[in-house]
Amino acid sequence: MKKIFIIDTNVLLHDPLAITKFQDNDVVIPLVAIEEMDNQKRRQDEVGRNARRVARLIDELRGKGKIYEGVPTEKGGTIKVELNHQHFDKLCAGLERSKSDNRILAVALAYKEEFPDKQVILVTKDTYLRIKADVCGVNSEDYKTDKVNLDELYTGIKEVQVKPELIDQFYSKNILPWEEELFPNQFVYLTDEYGSSKSALTRYNPDKKALVPLLFANTDAWGIKARNKEQRFAMELLMDDHVSLVTLVGQAGTGKTLLAVAAGLQKVIEEGVYRKLLITRPVIPLGNDIGFLPGDKDEKMRPWMSPIYDNLEYIFGQGRDMKKEKEFDKPKGNNIDSLIQYFKDKGQLELEALTYIRGRTIPRQYLIVDEAQNLTPHEVKTILTRAGEGTKVVLTGDPQQIDHPYLDSSSNGLTYVVDKFKGIGLAGHVTFVKGERSELAQTAAEII
């Protein structure tokens, strides 16, 4: 039997194509949702763009029939903008009629009463509205189309116990045939099944159907070296020019951003493989927003990019000799701002707000997107489609630290990309488990 889905505004602003993803069921868009999107259409961010895209999609449906009566879809369902179905008298006591969320809930209550034999479901990303729906007796659920089970998220690493002679064979022949089907660029940590300290770090090669040695794991990237096996696996991907997309997931202090920035500096400035290191992150404040910031674009961006500046300061503070491998013009001054400005002036480094990435084509660049867990799947798709010929994209983040109001650990763009690209040969992923910032930082991440 067909279901009736009542769609909340935040679902449409999250995924403008959401109304096309309910198969042969009936989709109802309350008129108040149209009004709310109309209020967002002038925004220049992703929310505004999605509002305008939904409007265009619904406008196209108007050409196929009367949208207030329901327009049939190719899959056998209907899409309808609802005008009148509001039962305010059915709302739970204490809910204000003037609130948009409650008006959407009233539409769901009316459909539940009119179609008692059908399952009526309110779809919303607003946790509070789902709670209110449950109290009022309306079935509700989150928008699950782009959700990933975080407990089953691909880690990029597999530990396997084997006979010690297989580990010896791997070291002697630099290859170990492997019958088990693994994902491209998946790492395998071989350990002795008898409990000795003998082990090997390997990488799966699907073409050879074998485990092969790591080539870049011990790289000294601008003075930074890996400290544990997960960081070595990450360095392997970050320094491999054949891997175009790298995703790094882990708690704060595990070294995701530091390794990515160090590898980017190595590849751009010392090796010249890429033309520029472009570092960006979504501008989402933690806590109360501090309002408008004075100064030019760079000065406005400085507070938002402070974590990146911290990593650059740490890397430059390692005492790296600027003339060690190549001849560089000596930068004026030795503080962090002088060094950053020096590489900016040479066109080798750019720190940019994510807002300005859309519409650009980014060729031969090493692109790092920090805090990618605060992006929607659609926003990540927008970024990846900006990558031009010869560009490498690195996404870093912690799905447990999300500041976006309508994203969670299962629906954010970072986990979505990890899941979708795990079987693609040009991509690689590593989940970090050990903190390297300090003992205090690691303990706090574990117990708080």
Report yes or no on 152 lying in a domain: no
Q: Which residue, 111, 142, 173, sits at the end of a domain?
A: 142
State how far the alpha carbon of 306 is from the alpha carbons of 129, 293, 300, 370, in Å: 35, 14, 11, 12
Tens-digit pLDDT profile for residues 373-395: 999 888 898 899 888 899 999 99
Q: What does the alpha-carbon distance between residue 333 and residue 331 come to, in Å, rounded to a whole number?
A: 6
Where does 181-275 show beta strands of DSSP type E? 187-192, 199-205, 210-213, 245-249
For residue 93, what are the domain limits?
4-142
Q: What does the alpha-carbon distance between residue 24 and residue 77 come to, in Å, rounded to a whole number?
A: 4
Report yes or no on 279 lying in a domain: yes
Q: Which residue, 97, 125, 142, sits at the end of a domain?
A: 142
Q: What does the alpha-carbon distance between residue 435 and residue 393 come to, in Å, rounded to a whole number?
A: 23
Which residue type occupies 353? Answer: A
Report yes or no on 199 lying in a domain: no
Report yes or no on 158 lying in a domain: no
- Written as six digits, the tokens of 111 are 């459909």
Give the pLDDT of residue 325.
41
Residues 281 and 429 in one domain: yes
**Cβ-contact 122, 143 below 8 angstroms:** no
**Cβ-contact 396, 371 below 8 angstroms:** yes
Residues 281 and 382 in one domain: yes
Residue-wise over 161-176: b if at least 16 C-beta within 10 A, else e? Answer: ebeeebbebbeeeeeb
DSSP codes, 40-80: TTT-SSHHHHHHHHHHHHHHHHHTTS-TTT-EE-TTS-EEE
Q: What does the alpha-carbon distance between residue 233 and residue 213 come to, in Å, rounded to a whole number?
A: 11
Q: How many domains does the structure of the chain reveal?
A: 2
Residues 129 and 274 in one domain: no
Give the pLDDT of residue 298.
64
Residues 276 and 390 in one domain: yes
Residue-wise over 284-308: b if at least 16 C-beta within 10 A, else e? Answer: beeeeeeeeeeeeeeeebeebbeeb
Give the pLDDT of residue 242.
96
Query: The domain that contains 109 carries what CATH number?
Result: 3.40.50.1010
Report yes or no on 155 lying in a domain: no
Nearest alpha carbon to residue 190 among 215, 226, 164: 164
Q: What does the alpha-carbon distance between residue 25 and residue 20 come to, in Å, rounded to a whole number?
A: 10
Report yes or no on 374 lying in a domain: yes
Q: Which residue, 100, 118, 142, sits at the end of a domain?
A: 142
Report yes or no on 385 lying in a domain: yes
Q: What does the alpha-carbon distance between residue 420 and residue 312 come to, in Å, rounded to a whole number?
A: 31
Tens-digit pLDDT profile for residues 65-100: 999 999 999 889 999 999 877 767 777 777 888 899
Nearest alpha carbon to residue 139 among 155, 124, 152: 124
State how far the alpha carbon of 187 is from the alpha carbons of 9, 158, 213, 239, 312, in Å: 42, 6, 10, 15, 28
C-alpha torsion angle, residues 270, 272, 274, 275 (rounded to 10): 100
The alpha-carbon radius of gyration of the chain (Å, integer) is: 26
Give the pLDDT of residue 445.
67
Q: What does the alpha-carbon distance between residue 430 and residue 420 come to, in Å, rounded to a whole number?
A: 14
Residues 420 and 277 in one domain: yes
Q: Which residues contact 170 (CB under 8 A, 6 or more apart)?
A: 176, 190, 200, 202, 211, 213
CA 203 to chain centre: 24
Query: The domain that contains 281 carries what CATH number?
Result: 3.40.50.300
**Cβ-contact 232, 249 below 8 angstroms:** no
Report yes or no on 220 lying in a domain: no
Residues 295 and 425 in one domain: yes
Q: Which residues contact 154 (CB under 8 A, 6 or more apart)?
A: 183, 418, 419, 422, 429
Task: Please identify every stretch of the chain with a pLDDT value under 50, giving residue numbers as ranges.
Answer: 285-290, 319, 322-328
